[in-house]
Amino acid sequence: MELRHLRYFIAVAELRSVRAASEQLHVTQPAISRQIQDLEDAIGAALFERTPRGLKLTPAGDAYLSEAREILARVDAANRLARRIASGVQGHLRIGFVENAVWSGPVSSALSAFEQAAPNVALELTPMNTPEQLDALAAGRLDGGFCYRFGALPEGIASLHVLDQGVVLAVPQAWPHGSAGAVSAHELSGRPFIAFPRRVYPAYYDRLLSACAERGLTLDIRQEASTETAILSLVSAGMGAAIVNAANRDRPPARVRFVDLLDLEISLPLEFCFVAHEAAHAANPTLKRFLDLLT
């Protein structure tokens, strides 16, 4: 049995005429009659009763008509779904992100635009630091991720540059440092600092301490926290200062001042990282659609 058997049957049943079905389907009458006979033979029941006024559905045919319509409707729906998934307008996309990257700017704009352009894509967003994202990409647990990259990417991972951020000094409001809005690094010697543990992101940790040392500042790290949100909460509590992503200016915490560093610059390149090989894009067309939009 093939789908054309059902289509021919439905046309004949609705028009009550092989001739009329032949004209509508642009198929010869003998071909339609043969397909109907093959269908009845396959089912083992007569679907039509031949009367002087034309064809009439038997009770079996009447029941079969309802089921045949539902089958074709489901097939058409499946076809539409497959086309939508293949074109990237429906499916599932898993994206990681560093929290401060999405507060404003092109990342938040891209995510919002993608939601509007592909509302039927299930967008799964997971906050993760950069090394966690790269590990998840390599393991197939993410389709892409917004990362602050230092050093070479793992094999098989490509990236699209989004923007360059910098760093800023966060100090408790009670501190006098940087009251004019800026401070030199060496002026902070001997002050308590809060930082993340080196294991969180060794490449960036080493770059940060090296840049500070070049400017005559050895960080006296008194407290450690794994995320910048937690670090800033400790700054707010007066536990010390911290050198953080300048994106945090878009969400200033209570009792924290952001101060420019006159002689200390660290570029934080934000990139969208993803599995590079074409098979990954073919397996998940929503990733290609997101890349096109982000580009």
The predicted-structure confidence for 268-294, as pLDDT tens digits, reads as follows 999 999 988 765 555 678 898 899 888
CATH 3.30.930.10 given to domain 3-86: no
Q: What are phi and psi of 129, to 5 degrees?
A: -75, 170
Strand order in the sheet with 120-127: 120-127, 90-97, 144-148, 268-275, 157-165
SS3 17: coil
Per-residue pLDDT of the chain (295 residues), as tens digits, is: 788 888 888 888 888 888 888 888 888 888 888 988 888 888 888 889 888 777 888 888 888 888 888 888 887 767 776 676 666 565 889 999 998 888 878 899 999 999 888 888 888 999 999 999 999 999 999 999 999 988 888 888 999 999 999 999 999 988 887 666 789 998 899 999 999 999 999 999 999 999 999 999 999 999 999 999 999 999 999 999 999 999 998 888 889 999 999 999 999 999 999 988 765 555 678 898 899 888 8
Residue ranges of the chain that CATH labels 3.40.190.10: 90-164+270-294, 167-266
Give the per-residue pLDDT at 261: 93
Q: What six digits make up the tokens of 24?
A: 């509508």
What does CATH list as the number for 167-266?
Answer: 3.40.190.10
CATH number of 90-164+270-294: 3.40.190.10
Residue located via tokens 């794994």:
226
pTM of the model: 0.68
User: Can you give the pLDDT at residue 191?
Assistant: 93
Residue pLDDT, tens place only, 192-203: 999 999 999 999
Strand segments, DSSP code E, in the chain are: 48-51, 54-57, 90-97, 120-127, 144-148, 157-165, 167-172, 182-183, 192-195, 220-224, 242-245, 256-261, 268-275
Structure tokens at 54: 């034309």
Residue whose token pair is 């009670």: 174
pLDDT at position 280: 54
